Every structure is written in C-alpha cells, then in structure tokens.
Amino acid sequence: MSTAAVKAYRGIGMEGFIATWYSGIVGKSLEEYRVLARSIAPRLEQRASVLDLAPGPGYFAIELAKLGPYRVTGLDISRSFVGIAHDKAREQGVEVDFRLGNAAAMPFETDSFDFIFCRAAFKNFAQPQHALREIRRVLRPGGQALIIDLRKDVSAGSIRQAVAQMGLSRINAVLTRWIFRYVLIKRAYTREELLQLVAGAGFGSANTDFSESLTGLEIRLRK
Ligand SMILES: C[S@@+](CC[C@H](N)C(=O)[O-])C[C@H]1O[C@@H](n2cnc3c(N)ncnc32)[C@H](O)[C@@H]1O
C-alpha cells in the first residue's frame, strides 16, 4: 500500500481554547515529559542543539532545558502554542527558542541539530513525507531523531487504560477518549506505513529502529 505524501484531511488547527485545553490536559502528565527528558539527556553532548518538533505547550523542551546547557528550540505551526510555550518557559526560568513554523518547511539551516524529538504530533502533519525530509535535512550528520506517536492498531481497552492514568475529570476523560477514537486513530500510522514514509525520506533501514508499546510506536532515525 502506498502512503500519501500529503494527507487529504488536515484536521483542525490547535489554536485558541483548543490549545489552552490541551495544555491543561497534558499538563497533568508532566511527569511523563520529565521521564522522557531524563531518558534523553544522558545521550546528549553538553552544548547539544535540540529541536522539539511540534512541541505544543513546550513541556518536553522545558524539562530538557532544565537538565543541562543544551540549546533547545521548538517549532510549532500553532501561534497559540508558541505563545503558551514561551510563557511557560519564562515562568520556569529556562531558555527555549519557541518559533512559529511548519514541519514540512523548517526555517533552519541544513545540518543544524544534534537531536530532534517529535511526540504526539507526526500523525497530525499534513505533509508527513516533506516533514521527514526536513528532519533529515536539518539533522547534523550523525544526529538522531526520535518520533513517538500513537499506533493505529491501538485497542479500545489500551486507550481506556491510558486515559485512566491521566488523572482527568470525568468529562475530560470522556472527551479525551472520544478524541482518540474519532480523530487521532484515524490520523495515526501503522508500522508499515511509517517505515515506508521514513524510507521515502532517505533514511535507510540500517539507520532506522522501530519499537512498539501498548498504545504507541517509537521510531529512531540516524542521519
Ligand atoms: C497533540 S499536539 C502535541 C504537542 C507536544 N509534542 C506534546 O507531546 O504534548 C500536536 C502538535 O503538532 C503541531 N503541529 C501540527 N502540524 C504541524 C506542522 N505541520 N508543523 C509544526 N507543528 C505542527 C500542533 O500545533 C500541536 O502543537
């Protein structure tokens, strides 16, 4: 099966109250971002240049910036999220350069980043193949990218379990389960689709590692 380079359905932009609502919901799972940041920091050089691609409220980028003198940048297509993330970084006293821009046409020089992180966002990209080509372009030779996202074949039971662990109010839990079922799963990729996109962007199989968890998939890419 061929995977479309451009998705016909673009979804709704995460602006205004949607961005505020999302920031509050995932803000209850801050520990998840801290654990991720702590797992990635030991692999980075002291002054590593890191891109959080589509950071939303910026939680991962902010937690990572607390752990060392990394040069952390965020790039998001939502003006609301860029503002929210900027304010949160200032509140926390860390320096992160949150910028407005599209993953499919990044405003960065070739070979700019040592590490690129992209969580819960790749499935939303309207031009996934362009985004992967851009990830490859802006990574330094030897640089790595980690994409974490929802797996398309996630079961209803696993979603219930994951949402139950988020500590949400009853109404937000119902709404979040609904969004998973009717919005996010539709946009998510299977392992095969993702590997096909990655290969199409020039990442050879020797430079691609793939793993799956109950609800998600992780793909590690090397340039
Ligand atoms: C569900 S949020 C995930 C945010 C964050 N990574 C996290 O883990 O909480 C998806 C993000 O992708 C962003 N996004 C969607 N399409 C994008 C694109 N083409 N370029 C950059 N950001 C994009 C949205 O604005 C939003 O911030």
pLDDT digits (tens, 9 = 90+) for 52-90: 999 999 999 999 999 999 999 999 999 999 999 999 999
Regarding the beta carbon of 54 and ligand 1, being less than 6 Å apart is answered yes
**3-class SS at 65?**
helix
Buried b (16+ CB within 10 A) or exposed e, 96-120: bebbeebbbebebeeebbbbbbbbb
The per-residue pLDDT for range 129-168, each reduced to its tens digit, is: 999 999 999 999 999 999 999 999 988 888 888 888 888 8
**120 close to ligand 1 (CB < 6 Angstrom):** yes
pLDDT at 8: 46
Instruction: Tell how far the Cα of 177 is from the centroid of ligand 1, in angstroms.
Output: 19
Determine if ligand 1 sits within 6 Å of the CB of residue 77.
yes
Are β-strands 49-53 and 71-76 bridged in parallel, bridged antiparallel, or unpaired? parallel
Could you tell me if the CB of 61 is within 6 A of ligand 1? Answer: no
Q: What is the reported pLDDT for 6?
A: 55
Task: Name the residue ranges covered by the structural domains of the chain.
Answer: 16-155+189-222
Q: Is the CB of 14 under 6 A from ligand 1?
A: yes
Taking the CB of residue 31, how many other CB atoms lie within 10 A of it? 9
Give this prediction's pTM: 0.92
Tokens of 184: 């996010």
Percent of the chain with pLDDT over 90: 74
Q: Indicate if ligand 1 lies below 6 Å from the C-beta of 98.
A: no
Of 22, 60, 124, 184, which is best to mutate to test ligand 1, by the most ligand atoms within 8 angstroms of its C-beta? 124
pLDDT tens for each residue of 202-215: 999 999 999 998 88
Tell whether domain 16-155+189-222 is in CATH 3.40.50.2300: no
Confidence of residue 180 (pLDDT cuts 50, 70, 90): confident
